[in-house]
Amino acid sequence: METNLALLLLLSPFVGFLFNTFFGKKISKGIAGVIGTLTVLFSFLITICFFTQLIQSGKNFEISLFDWISVGNLQIDFGIVLDQLSLLWLLFVTGIGTLIHVYSISYMHEDENMAKFFAYLNLFIFFMITLVIGNNLLVMFIGWEGVGLCSYLLIGFWYKNQAYNDAAKKAFIMNRIGDLGFLIGIFILAAQFSTLNYSEIQLAIASGKVNTTALGIAALCLFIGATGKSAQMPLYTWLPDAMAGPTPVSALIHAATMVTAGIFMITRLNFLFDLTPEIQNVIAIVGVITAVLAASIGLLQNDIKKVLAYSTVSQLGLMFLALGMGAYTVAVFHVITHAFFKACLFLGSGSVIHALHGEQDMRNMGGLRKVMPVTFWTMLISTLAIAGIFPFAGFWSKDEILLAAFEHNKILWFLASVASIMTAFYMFRLMYLTFFREFRGTEEQRKHLHESPALITMPLVVLALLATIGGIINLPGSFWLNHYLEPVLATKHHAHSLGTQEFMLMGVALAGAIIGIVWAYAKYLKQGFVPKEDDAISGFNKIIYNKYYIDEVYTALVVSPINAISNFSRETIEPQLSKLIFSLGTAANAIGSQGRKLQNGNIGLYLFMFVLGICAIIIYLFIAQ
C-alpha cells in the first residue's frame, strides 16, 4: 500500500509530463495547464498523507524497488526513502510547485507552447521528487541531472531569442562542471564503502574504519557539485542569466526548489561532512563570500528579476554558511522560509512584468502601488520577510544563522550581517522603484496597467501568508523543526536558549535591517533618485553594475582559450589532417585506375595471364627445391 502510494507520488508528475507531451497539441491550453497542475497537486496530497503518518508514528518508510547495479561487491538498489528530511523537501517542492503551476495557467495563457511548458514543469517536479526521494546517491544523481536538464529546457523556453538560448547553455555547462565534482565524490564513496545507500554509509562511518583523507576529498567534490547546482562561488554566474526563462520558472526552479538541492545533499550527508571540519570551513567561507558578493552586486542592478536572482544567490550563500557551521537545521529552516518569500517575490515580479507587457527594467516602472494593490502588499510582506523584519518568517531563520555565526566566528557573523543589511537595502530599493512615486513608463503602457487576474494573485496571497507565519515552524522556545529533524542528523544541533546575548543579537540584526530600509528610503523615496542610464554609470558603481566583471574574467580565462584552441584545431590542424587523409584516397584511386586497365574484358588475355601464373608457380617451385 505504502509502496504504491510512494510510487504514485513519484510518477504522478511524470504522467502529467507524458500526457502534455503527447496530447498537448490536441487539447486546449487551459486543460493542459489544469492537468499539469492536478498531477502535482496529487503528489502534494500524498506527501501530506505520508507526513501526517510520520508525525504520528515517527517511523521512516524505506523500500528498495529493485536491484539496480550489482558489480563485484558493489550493490546499488533503486530504492526510495520517506523520512523527516525528504518529506519536508517534498512538502514544499510539491506545495509551492502546485501554486506555481496554478500561477502559470494564467501567466502563460498567451504562449503558443503552453502544453510544452507544463510538460517541462511536470518533468522538473518528477526529477526533483526523484532527487529527494532516493535512498542512495545514485538515485539522487538521476534527479540531480534531470533537474539540470529541465532547468536548461525552461531557461531556453523562448528559444527564438538567441540570448536566452545562450543563457540556457551557460546554465547547463556551469552545472555540468559541478556535476562532475558530484560524480567524482560518488565514485570515491562507492570505492570506500561499496555502497551508496545513505544509512549504510552512515553505519560504515560510525563503525570507525574510515580513511579520512579520502572522505575529505569526497566531501570537497560533493561540495563542488553543490556549488554548481546551488549557484555558489565560483560557479554562480549561471543563475542571474537563468532569469531569461519565464518568471514562474525562475520562481520554482531558480529560487525555491532546484537551487536548494545542494543544501539538501549536504544535509543528507551531514554525517560525512561532520567528519571533515576543513571542508566545513571551506563551505562556510565560500557561503559567506558568495552572500556578500552577490548582495553587493544586487545593490545596483536595474532588472527586477536580476535583483531577485542576486538576492537568491546571496541567501543561498547564507544557507551554506549555516551548513558550514554544522547548523543543518538552521540551513533547512532558511531554505523553507526562503522558498516562501522568494517564490512570492518572483511571482510578484512576474505579475508586474505581466502588467507592463514584458518590461523588466525598474527605471521604467514606478507608482504601481495603486494599480496593483494585491501584488504590492504581497510583495511588501515578502520583502519585509527577506529583509529580516520581526515577526516575518525571514527574521527567525536569518536570525538563527546570524546567531550560529556569532557563536562560531565573529568575522563570519560580521560579513553575514553586512550581507543582510545590503539585502534590506536592495529589496526596498526594488520596492520603491517599482511601486512608489510616479509611473515612468510609456503612455501606451500606462493605459494598459492592470492588476493581474485571480489565478496569479491567489498563489501570491498564499505565499505571502506563508512568508508571514512561516517562522512558526522553528520559533525559539518550541524549536519544532530542530526536534523534527533530529533523527536524520548524526550530531544533535543544540537549540539556542534565549539569553541576553541572543536578544541583543536579534536587536542588532533588526537594527541592521532597518538601517538598510531607511537608507533605501532616503535615497529612492525621499529624493526620488532613479538609477542612471547604463553609460552614465562610472567609478566603483560601474564595477558593481557590471558584476565585478566576473563573467568577463571567466570569458578571458576559460572561454577565450578554449575558443582559441578550437579555432586553431579547425583552421590549422584539421585542414592538414584532411589533406593527409585525402592524399591517401587519391593514391588509392590512382593505383586503381592503373589496375582497371588490366580488366579489359579480353578472355584470351585472361587465359594467357592464367597460364603465365601457373608457369611462374612451377618455376618458383623448381627454384625453391
Partner 1 sequence: MNNILNQIGIENYIFLSVLLFCIGVFGVLYRRNAIIVLMSIEIMLNAVNLLFVAFSTYHQDAEGQIFVFFSMAVAAAEVAVGLAILVSIFRNLGSIDIDNLKNLKG
Q: Would you say 76 and 136 are in contact if contact means Cβ atoms under 8 Å apart? A: yes
Q: What is the footprint of partner 1 within residues 131-150 (CB under 8 A)?
A: none
C-alpha span between 488 and 484 (Å, rounded):
9
* Shortest distance in whole angstroms from residue 603 CB to partner 1: 4
Contacting residue, 59, 608, 613, 617, with partner 1 by CB under 8 A:
608
506, three cell numbers: 536579534
| Shorter beta-carbon distance to partner 1: residue 206 or 615 | 615
Strands 61-71 and 74-82 come out as antiparallel
617 contributes a contact to partner 1 by CB under 8 A: no
Interface map 356-385 toward partner 1 (x if CB under 8 A)? ------------------------------
| Shorter beta-carbon distance to partner 1: residue 4 or 599 | 599
Interface map 171-210 toward partner 1 (x if CB under 8 A)? ----------------------------------------
* Shortest distance in whole angstroms from residue 26 CB to partner 1: 59
| Shorter beta-carbon distance to partner 1: residue 447 or 597 | 597
C-alpha span between 138 and 182 (Å, rounded):
10
| Shorter beta-carbon distance to partner 1: residue 55 or 609 | 609
* Shortest distance in whole angstroms from residue 604 CB to partner 1: 6
From the DSSP assignment, how many helices (H) and strands (E) are in the chain? Answer: 27, 2
C-alpha span between 386 and 311 (Å, rounded):
9
Q: Which of 88, 80, 103 is nearest to 48 (CA)?
A: 88
* Shortest distance in whole angstroms from residue 164 CB to partner 1: 59
| Shorter beta-carbon distance to partner 1: residue 469 or 611 | 611
476, three cell numbers: 525559539
b/e string for 441-456 if b means 16 or more Cβ within 10 A? beeebeeebebbeeeb
Give the C-alpha distances (Å, rounded to integers) separating 52 from 39, 56, 293, 526: 20, 6, 41, 50
Place of cell 510538460: 119
Contacting residue, 173, 475, 511, 611, with partner 1 by CB under 8 A:
611
* Shortest distance in whole angstroms from residue 617 CB to partner 1: 14
- Length reported for the chain: 625
Beta-carbon contacts of 198 under 8 Å, excluding residues fewer than 6 positions away, are 81, 135, 136, 137, 268, 269
The 3 state secondary structure assigned to 360-397 is CEHHHCCCCCCCCHHHHHHHHHHHHHHHCCCCCHHHHH
| Shorter beta-carbon distance to partner 1: residue 579 or 597 | 597
* Shortest distance in whole angstroms from residue 611 CB to partner 1: 6
Interface map 542-581 toward partner 1 (x if CB under 8 A)? ----------------------------------------
**Residue 80, beta-bridge partner list:** 63, 134
Interface map 588-607 toward partner 1 (x if CB under 8 A)? --------xxxxxxxxx--x
First-last CA distance in the chain: 88
| Shorter beta-carbon distance to partner 1: residue 581 or 607 | 607
Say how many residues touch partner 1, by CB under 8 A: 13
* Shortest distance in whole angstroms from residue 614 CB to partner 1: 8
Could you give the maximum distance between any two Cα atoms of the chain, in Å? 116
| Shorter beta-carbon distance to partner 1: residue 568 or 610 | 610
Note the residues at the interface with partner 1 (CB under 8 A): 596-604, 607-608, 610-611
